[in-house]
Amino acid sequence: MRIPPASYVRIQNAYRRGDHLVVLGDGDRVASELAATEEDRALANELWCLIGTVHAEAERFEVSVRFLEHATGTPSTGQAETPDDRLDWFRVLLVDEYLRLGRYDDALAQLPRLLEPARAMDTRFAATRAQSSIAAARGDFETAHFLLNTATGIAIRMRSRFRAALVEGDRSVLLAAQGRFHEATASADSVLTSFVRPPIGTYQRWGNTHGAMVALTLCRLSAQAGDALTAQRMLIQGTTAVERAGTSYLRAYLELARGAFYGAEGRFDLAEAALFEASRGFNVLGCLSASAIATLEQGRLAWRRGLHLSARPLLERALVDFRVLGQTPEINEIRRLLIEVDRHTVA
């Protein structure tokens, strides 16, 4: 067995001990040198993946995507690289970055090879959840439910209660998006107590992140539906989870939920400030879908305040973004709000 070059080992060790400055400072140069030799190309790809992972952890999502695409041979790079099981974890990370950025078509192009029967169950589990997320975002709820059932089956075969709980959290968000709030709340309550805990260990850190997304999404949707008590309860749990797994993305999502909750409660000044912070945070991170939701909520807030001339441009801007994303439920919601805005403007 060939011994890896010392330069490769040095970057790997730097990553393992959390010395990200070394990874970012020397990793690309070392990877480029290794890539010049065909037998070291795989090692170069691994280093580029590590660089992409460091950027992802720092929430530089677009930079992360460029390194991960370059290393994993995605369709958008034009590389005809044979799939390598060692790179599957990074391909799953790339799909996750695509979803954050709203690049759903790129994520869908990446998924077929991750769903191949020969792949590890963990890889197929993550890819199936991603498929369900995209189907739900685009309004295909029946397919989303089917895929979540498939993911649950994989989790059971893996004998992983944690993964089964992740799927149940996904299901609660999907049910809420359909307006099935009683079922959504029951589903969320069954898993949030295990997710929102002190972040000890990798799984619990992931649990807090997922718990925050579930609770804050249910908060926003419950507030829109007029269920103030559930919205407040979910906001409390989501706030706790964000404090424990705090990232810029989650903090922006917290402000988004607060803005929706305050707006439904008629506390308009607090809502406006929260939604401004959410929109700013998502725009800085380049997260198109979340940014569009924040713009939609700003338009909804202006409509609630009777500021119809302000509401229309905000709603139209969100509509443009959602059309690019193909998010049918939000498109239909904006069209309904625009009819209301026009009716009150004419009146």
For the segment 87-107, what is each residue's pLDDT rounded down to a tens digit? 899 999 999 999 999 999 999
Q: pLDDT band at 86, cuts 50/70/90? A: confident
Please say if the pLDDT value at position 206 is more than 90: no
The total of other beta-carbon atoms located within 10 Å of residue 306's CB is 9
Question: Quick one: pLDDT at residue 195?
Answer: 80
Judge whether 48 lies within some domain. yes
Q: CB–CB of 8/35 below 8 Å?
A: no
- Looking at per-residue pLDDT, the higher value among 267 and 204 belongs to 267
To the nearest whole number, what is the mean pLDDT of the chain?
Answer: 91
Judge whether 43 lies within some domain. yes
Question: Quick one: pLDDT at residue 4?
Answer: 83
Q: Please tell me the pTM assigned to this model.
A: 0.92
Judge whether 49 lies within some domain. yes
Residue span of the structural domain in which 38 resides: 1-58
Over residues 211-229, the pLDDT tens digits come to: 999 999 999 999 999 999 9
Judge whether 36 lies within some domain. yes
Question: Quick one: pLDDT at residue 204?
Answer: 60
Judge whether 148 lies within some domain. no
Q: How many domains does the chain have?
A: 1
Judge whether 54 lies within some domain. yes
Judge whether 23 lies within some domain. yes
By the 10 Å C-beta count (0-12 exposed, 13-18 middle, 19+ buried), 157 is classed as: exposed
Q: pLDDT band at 77, cuts 50/70/90? A: very low
CA distances from 9 to 47, 48, 52, 81 (A): 10, 14, 17, 24
Q: How far apart are CA 278 and CA 296, in angstroms?
A: 12
Judge whether 112 lies within some domain. no
